Amino acid sequence: MNLKLIVAMVADDRTDAVLDAARQAGATGASVITNCRGEGLKPEKTFLGLGLTSQRDVLLFVVAEPKAREILETIAQAGQLDKQPGAGIAFQLAIEDAVGLRTQAQAILSSIAERV
């Protein structure tokens, strides 16, 4: 099975919306890394040496390759990634091999079959 890893870095207040939208688009699950910090083109301002940046979450989705682009576009829409500067970023990477997916394999395959 060809797999992709979708990595989404979004503001923590958008995490639940992105997770729900990705699941509706065919993602079977995600891993969430909380409380990350990011910096864009312009460094964020500080107040007395304390950063004023909002916290971000990193969401990791292992998805079937035929569904990857649709899930990625859904994540972008739910997270408003192309509408607001600093809203976040999402991208996909090819996965050469993976283990530990036996319990999700049937769900991934049936999700592909439903959409084809």
Domain range list for the chain: 3-115
The tens digit of pLDDT for each residue in 5-36 reads 999 999 888 999 999 999 999 998 899 999 88
- Give the pLDDT band of residue 99 (cuts 50, 70, 90): confident
pLDDT of residue 115: 57
Cα-based angle 111, 60, 9 (whole degrees, multiple of 5) = 125
- Tens digits of residue pLDDT in 26-77: 998 899 999 887 666 666 666 565 555 678 899 999 998 999 999 999 999 9
Domain 3-115 of CATH type 3.30.70.120? yes
pTM of structure = 0.80
State the Cα–Cα distance between residues 66 and 3, nearest whole angstrom. Answer: 9
What's the pLDDT score for residue 50? Answer: 58
What is the bridge-based pairing of β-strands 31-36 and 3-11?
A: unpaired
